[in-house]
Amino acid sequence: MFHSMMNLLFFTLFTTSVTIQVFSVDDPVFNDDILGLIVFKAGLQDPNHKLSSWNDDDYTPCNWEGVKCDSSNNRVNSLVLDGFSLSGHIDRGLLRLQYLQILSLSGNNFTGFINPDLPKLGSLEAVDFSDNNLQGSVPEEFFQQCGSLKNVNFAKNNLTGNVPDSLSSCSSLTNVNFSSNQMYGKLPSGVWFLRGLQSFDVSNNLLEGEIVLEGIQNLYGLRELSLRKNRFSGRIPEEIGGCIGLKSLDLSGNFLSGGIPQSMQRLNSCNSISLQENSFTGNIPDWIGEMKGLENLDLSSNRFSGWIPKSLGKLEMLQRLNFSRNQLTGNLPDSMINCTNLLAFDISHNNLDGYLPSWIFTKGNYHGLEVLDLSTNGFSGGIPSGIGGLRSLKLLNMSSNSFYGSVPVRFSLMS
Ligand SMILES: *[C@@H]1O[C@H](CO)[C@@H](O)[C@H](O)[C@H]1NC(C)=O
Ligand SMILES: *[C@@H]1O[C@H](CO)[C@@H](O)[C@H](O)[C@H]1NC(C)=O
Ligand SMILES: *[C@@H]1O[C@H](CO)[C@@H](O)[C@H](O)[C@H]1NC(C)=O
Ligand SMILES: *[C@@H]1O[C@H](CO)[C@@H](O)[C@H](O)[C@H]1NC(C)=O
Ligand SMILES: *[C@@H]1O[C@H](CO)[C@@H](O)[C@H](O)[C@H]1NC(C)=O
Ligand SMILES: *[C@@H]1O[C@H](CO)[C@@H](O)[C@H](O)[C@H]1NC(C)=O
């Protein structure tokens, strides 16, 4: 009786195209992990024979390619098949791996939908399905009973639908990445109450609405936040300033407007701020100079106006500065002689004027500078001598200014 039930079970698990092997329940070799993995493999195309070591005659799957076991119970706790060129569906067979902690199938050609039952594997901590061809929406049920799930990466698939509301109830989450899909709608408002959140990336989707950050002021562990390339609108909420552990903030490529909120000056652990391609207005605040860890500051393609603040000279770590395509006026502040680590400096397409300060070209000052774009401004006067002192320079663009003398209007130096 039991045997025939088991046979029936195997029949429903295996697809008809597969050799059906009948296991016996009292066979010591029989192991749920082997069964689950063989069922999973049976549904796949494996053009590079990456899974040829997966042999159902084996006593244990622990030496199979991509499989790791917990040495205390010999059960599979990790399945990492990144970049194996596998295609097919992520089959239910995996639900048999009851001790699975890490499931990583990144960089394959998996298709079909995300199985909502996967996080019910009580030990599952990390799921990485990034860079496949999964479709449909991320099921609401996926996060409803999410056990000890910490890391979820569904980036670079073909997922649609909303970011599920249930995400907010999955309190163990630390890293969430839904980047580069076609997800739409608003972000669930409860996301910022996930106390363990360290990174959150929904860049490159079709998300919309005002950014609501209620709760984020308590997320001291949040280091990386990217809402890049979506359709978010409205202002940056003041709550952002409470997120004091933030290292990287990327809000570029949205429809955001208003000024840079005052509270952002509290983000002094930040290395990178990208606000480019929005409709921000107002001045670049003086306090920006207090964000001493900044290595990348990109405010390009907005409507910022006023002078470049003197305080910028305090940003000695700065490597990439992009203020291109705004409405900035005045000259470059002399303090910038102290930004000696600059690699790329783009202030093109503004209304800057005056003589170019000679320190820009002072030998040994901007020793690493690779890109200097001053084009389309109102700079005048002669080109400072010492222009050849910038040894690392790969691109220099001074076109569309009012320089006089026999100066090349536009040129680039390729090293
Ligand atoms: C996915 O499949 C396509 C066509 O079948 C193939 O050209 C491509 O190389 C595959 N990609 C990977 C990552 O295996
Ligand atoms: C992604 O989905 C769209 C619409 O559902 C479809 O037209 C497109 O072919 C899919 N792309 C891939 C790479 O699967
Ligand atoms: C999210 O995934 C994309 C694609 O794999 C990657 O480029 C990006 O760095 C990831 N984001 C975070 C915060 O790790
Ligand atoms: C500065 O930003 C503009 C667009 O916002 C971009 O086209 C340009 O390449 C960037 N400059 C540098 C040096 O990265
Ligand atoms: C550059 O930094 C030094 C040392 O911090 C400081 O004394 C000097 O005034 C700064 N130069 C300018 C032009 O701000
Ligand atoms: C220099 O800047 C001008 C005007 O901004 C632009 O048209 C040109 O393509 C740039 N040249 C190079 C080599 O980047």
Q: What is the pLDDT of residue 145?
A: 85
182 SS3 class: coil
Name all residues whose Cβ lies below 6 A of ligand 2: 133, 135, 158
Question: For 46-64, how does the pLDDT look when each residue is reduced to its tens digit (9 = 90+)?
Answer: 999 999 999 988 989 999 9
273 within 8 A of 298, measured Cβ to Cβ = yes
Ligand 4 atom nearest to 276, measured from its CA? 5
Length of the chain: 415
340 lines ligand 1 (CB under 6 A): no
Query: If you average pLDDT over residues 349-374, what whole number do you get?
Result: 85
- Distance between CA 50 and CA 44 in Å, rounded? 11
Q: What sign does the CA torsion over 179, 180, 183, 184 have?
A: positive
Q: What is the pLDDT of residue 363?
A: 61
> Given its phi and psi angles, is residue 404 left (phi above 0), alpha (psi -120 to 50 degrees) or beta?
beta
Q: Which of 338, 334, 321, 335 is nearest to 374 (CA)?
A: 321
Proximal ligand: closest to the CA of 357: 5
* Cα end-to-end span (Å), the chain: 78
Ligand 1 center–CA 109 separation, angstroms: 6
Cα separation values, 398 from 137, 214, 351, 375, 408, Å: 48, 45, 14, 4, 8
- Distance between CA 141 and CA 116 in Å, rounded? 6
Residue among 179, 200, 202, 223 to mutate when testing ligand 3 (max atoms within 8 A of CB): 179
Question: For 224-280, how does the pLDDT look when each residue is reduced to its tens digit (9 = 90+)?
Answer: 999 999 999 999 999 999 999 999 999 999 999 999 999 999 999 999 999 999 999
- Distance between CA 154 and CA 144 in Å, rounded? 17
* CB burial of residue 12 (10 Å; 0-12, 13-18, 19+): exposed
pLDDT above 70 coverage of the chain, percent: 88
- Distance between CA 192 and CA 177 in Å, rounded? 15
This prediction's pTM: 0.90
Question: For 138-197, how does the pLDDT look when each residue is reduced to its tens digit (9 = 90+)?
Answer: 999 999 988 899 999 999 999 999 999 999 999 999 999 999 999 999 999 999 999 999
Q: What is the pLDDT of residue 131?
A: 98
- Distance between CA 367 and CA 389 in Å, rounded? 8
